[in-house]
Amino acid sequence: MSKPVLKIAIKPKDSGPAVAPIAYWRNDNGRLNGKLDRSVKSITIETNDGEIIKIERDAQGRETHWINAYEDAPKPMNGGDDVPF
């Protein structure tokens, strides 16, 4: 398998090692497709309204949720360069 084009890392502000639980590969259609790192069993997210979302692996080892990434920046005008953030 090729190397990922993007990794998401999480590191405590005070100290401690960084963890990269998700990596992204570019699909043939140009979209980014994310996967949990093999060492990650699950990730739990709690929203402000109390909803809990748990991304984990099923019995076959596949993620229970799609982990996609997309660009939400304004599109450049007249074929110009990308708009900076």
Domain ranges of the chain: 6-69
Q: Give SS3 for 72.
A: coil
Q: Which residue has the tokens 């994310």?
A: 34
Q: Which residue has the tokens 């140009």?
A: 30
CB atoms under 10 Å from CB of 23, counted, come to 20
Q: What pTM does this model have?
A: 0.64
Residue 45: what residue type? I
Q: Per-residue pLDDT for the chain (85 aa), expressed as one digit of tens each? A: 688 999 999 999 988 899 999 999 988 887 888 888 888 889 999 999 999 999 999 999 888 988 887 776 666 665 555 555 4
pLDDT score of 82? 54
Rounded to 5°, angle at Cα 54 from 48 and 57: 165
Do the strands 19-26 and 6-10 form a parallel or antiparallel pair, or are they unpaired?
Answer: antiparallel
